[in-house]
Amino acid sequence: MLKHLSTIEVNNLNIHINLSIGVYKLNEKDKDINKILDKAYMARSKIKGLYDNNYYIFDETLENKLMEDQKIESCMEDALKNNEFKVVYQPKTFTKSEKVIGAEALVRWYKDDEIIAPYKFIPLFEKNKFIIKLDLYIFEQVCKDISNWKEKYNFIPIISINLSKAHFEDENFIDEYVKITDKYNINRSQIDLEITESVTADENIDIIKVLNKIKEEGFIISIDDFGTGYSSLSMLQNMPIDIIKIDKVFVDKANLMSDKNIINYIMILAKRIGVETIVEGVETKEQADFVKKLGCDIIQGYYYSKPISREDFEEYFNKNK
């Protein structure tokens, strides 16, 4: 197959094709064509985007992953009903004042005294669209917390919350978020909705239209994982965004002794279009000093704090606000 399909001639032009092939070997128990195809797709996903291997055969590792996914899917609805998903907060700190501005809300799944890692369930929930329910659930928990903080301490930190790509299939999805903020009397300018850069590059989404609607409702908008996707600079300039979040990968790879690096150029771009910058994944004093020198506005990372419980964040915020 590889030999015959690697080059195809069209109108006397040789077109070279890099194939990604997933292989699943049928057995007598296989009756459902959709399940069979899923296994072949899973195998193919193992090598998609790699150029040193063209095929992958479904094996025991993938079988175990499939069984794990099925187990998670079988209990996800009950987990939501039983409040097994909890919100943790990772503080964000102003670089100039070292004061805490707020935090990013992150989800953790506590099941039978065990924490299920987000990487095990988030991609699956994005695939089966359960992420829409989970996102709304987490959003409401955050609004409850903000309401309690306002009443208890008279402070309202700015909280950022991730918006999964699945929401953008419905241009009016933001209406549900507005209803929840109204329910808890939340000022929407205190909530930062984070979208990944990959959403902005999806041709099936009218991103400018959707973001304008979010902005009209008063929310802050952040582009998360900036620099890892493919959004065009011209589109970025036209999007009504407030913050660019620079991905951890650029911090890890940065030469801390030089300003000739991607982070510096993103900072320059952000200032030109009038948006703030947050650098994620700052874990050491050297990294913190480095991004401060480059002019980053806000820092998020283990150097200041890991993700912590609501109670711990209350205490942390009160000490550092």
Q: How far apart are CA 283 and CA 279, in angstroms?
A: 11
Q: Which range, of 5-14, 37-46, 231-240, 276-285, averages the lowest pLDDT?
A: 231-240
Q: Are 74 and 49 within one domain?
A: no
Q: Are 44 and 82 within one domain?
A: no
Q: Are 29 and 116 within one domain?
A: no
- Tens digit of each residue's pLDDT (9 = 90 or more) over 98-149: 999 999 999 999 998 889 989 999 999 998 999 999 999 999 999 999 999 9
Q: What is the pLDDT of residue 48?
A: 66
Q: Are 138 and 178 within one domain?
A: yes
Is residue 296 over pLDDT 60? yes
The parent domain of residue 50 ranges over 2-58
- Tens digit of each residue's pLDDT (9 = 90 or more) over 96-105: 999 999 999 9
Q: Are 185 and 254 within one domain?
A: yes
Reduce the secondary structure of 27-79 to three states and give it as a string.
Answer: CCCCCCHHHHHHHHHHHHHCCCCCCCCCEEECCHHHHHHHHHHHHHHHHHHHH
Q: What is the pLDDT of residue 8?
A: 85
Q: Are 166 and 51 within one domain?
A: no
- Tens digit of each residue's pLDDT (9 = 90 or more) over 225-266: 876 665 556 667 788 999 999 988 888 888 787 777 888 888
Q: Are 262 and 295 within one domain?
A: yes
Note whether 257 and 286 are within 8 A (CB): no
pTM of the model: 0.84
Quote the number of domains for the chain.
2
Q: Which range, of 44-58, 238-252, 273-287, averages the lowest pLDDT?
A: 44-58
The three-state secondary structure class of 130 is coil
Q: What is the pLDDT of residue 50?
A: 63
Largest interatomic CA distance in the chain = 75
